[in-house]
């Protein structure tokens, strides 16, 4: 059996870091939005005597072994759900979403695995169990799985869909030679020594989205402050396009509603234009 799914990138329209948790993660309040930038996963299932996983793909920036979150998602699904039929599962990953960019590409891929296994293996898991599996693998999977405009709390895995009345075009700007892991992004923020706070900006943005108001002046990201000071390739983006905002822990920035005119060297940055907000998460092609 073969099936192909597309997994969307996300951007953080607002990201407020509230405090550090006892488990080392951070409590956040964030408005996340899926956009029309997709990775594609081609699945092939063959009956087998034991579970076998083979990953291939077009990117040199990700591993194709047990370190890949796609591999981890399969093993988690099988270890959690009893009495599943076993297959030789081959997955080709077509990467279009830049990695270590704050766009949730790896999380979206893992969410695509959970969506596909639930469909192909006829497990019919309730939404709460799907959300629990997503949360075990990462903080952004739940948003990428469900898609649309989402208010994310806790470490990002507690998600509430927002009835959005706001749509926008999106452009992405990503330095070619800089990636930032979530761990490094939050560590840089912690180094600034800000005290705990309550969510304010995200609530204001949420109300504006529901009302269909212009949100261009409300987008915000706590995690942007430290990388802008540390990395010249990022400050150049902000200087060239003041309306841009970093997504997640970076290193990608996004611009709403316009195709940016950028004074940036083409050999140092990848620029993706013509994107839009989408109201869907993982889905079959």
Query: Residue 90: what are its φ and ψ, rounded to 5°?
Result: -110, 130
List, in sequence order, every residue forming a beta bridge with 55; answer none if it has no partner: 91
Helix (H, G, I), strand (E, B) or coil at 236: helix
User: What Å distances lie between residue 19 and 154, 159, 229, CA to CA?
Assistant: 10, 18, 22
What are the distances in angstroms from CA 206 to CA 27, 37, 141, 214, 218? Answer: 18, 23, 20, 12, 10
Q: How many residues does the chain have?
A: 285
**Among this protein's residues, is 10 annotated catalytic?**
yes
Asked if 255 contacts 173 with a C-beta cutoff of 8 angstroms, the reply is: yes
The closest of 76, 4, 13 to 43, measured between CA atoms, is 4
Contacts of 45 (CB under 8 A, 6+ apart): 1, 2, 3, 87, 88, 89, 120
Q: Determine whether 90 is an active site residue.
A: no
* Active-site residue identified among 6, 39, 131, 140: 140
List the structure tokens of 145: 């799985």
Report CA-CA distances (Å) from 42 to 90, 119, 225: 8, 14, 38
Catalytic residues: 10, 140
């Amino acid at each position: 059996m073969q099936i192909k799914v597309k997994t969307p990138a996300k951007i953080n329209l607002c990201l407020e870091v509230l405090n550090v948790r006892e488990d080392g993660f951070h409590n956040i309040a964030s408005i996340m939005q899926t956009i029309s930038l997709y990775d594609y996963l081609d699945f092939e299932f063959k009956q087998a005597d034991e579970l076998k996983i083979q990953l291939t793909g077009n990117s040199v920036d990700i591993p194709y072994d047990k370190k890949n979150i796609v591999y981890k998602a399969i093993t988690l699904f099988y270890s959690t759900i009893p009495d599943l039929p076993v297959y030789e599962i081959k997955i080709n990953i077509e990467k279009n979403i830049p990695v270590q960019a704050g766009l949730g590409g790896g999380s979206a891929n893992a969410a695509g695995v959970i969506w596909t296994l639930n469909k192909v293996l006829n497990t019919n898991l309730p939404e709460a169990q799907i959300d629990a599996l997503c949360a075990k693998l990462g903080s952004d999977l739940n948003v990428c799985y469900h898609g649309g405009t989402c208010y994310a709390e806790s470490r990002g895995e507690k998600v509430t869909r927002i009835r959005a009345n706001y749509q926008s075009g999106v452009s992405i700007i990503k330095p070619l030679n800089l990636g930032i892991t979530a761990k490094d992004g939050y560590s840089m923020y912690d180094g600034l020594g800000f005290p705990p706070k309550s969510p304010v900006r995200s609530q204001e943005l949420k109300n504006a989205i529901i009302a269909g108001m212009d949100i261009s002046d409300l987008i915000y990201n706590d995690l942007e402050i430290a990388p802008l000071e540390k990395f010249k390739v990022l400050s150049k983006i902000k200087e060239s396009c003041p309306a841009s905002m970093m997504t997640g822990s970076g290193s990608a920035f996004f611009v709403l509603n316009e195709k940016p005119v950028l004074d940036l060297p083409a050999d140092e940055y990848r620029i993706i234009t013509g994107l839009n907000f989408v109201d869907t998460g993982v889905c079959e092609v």
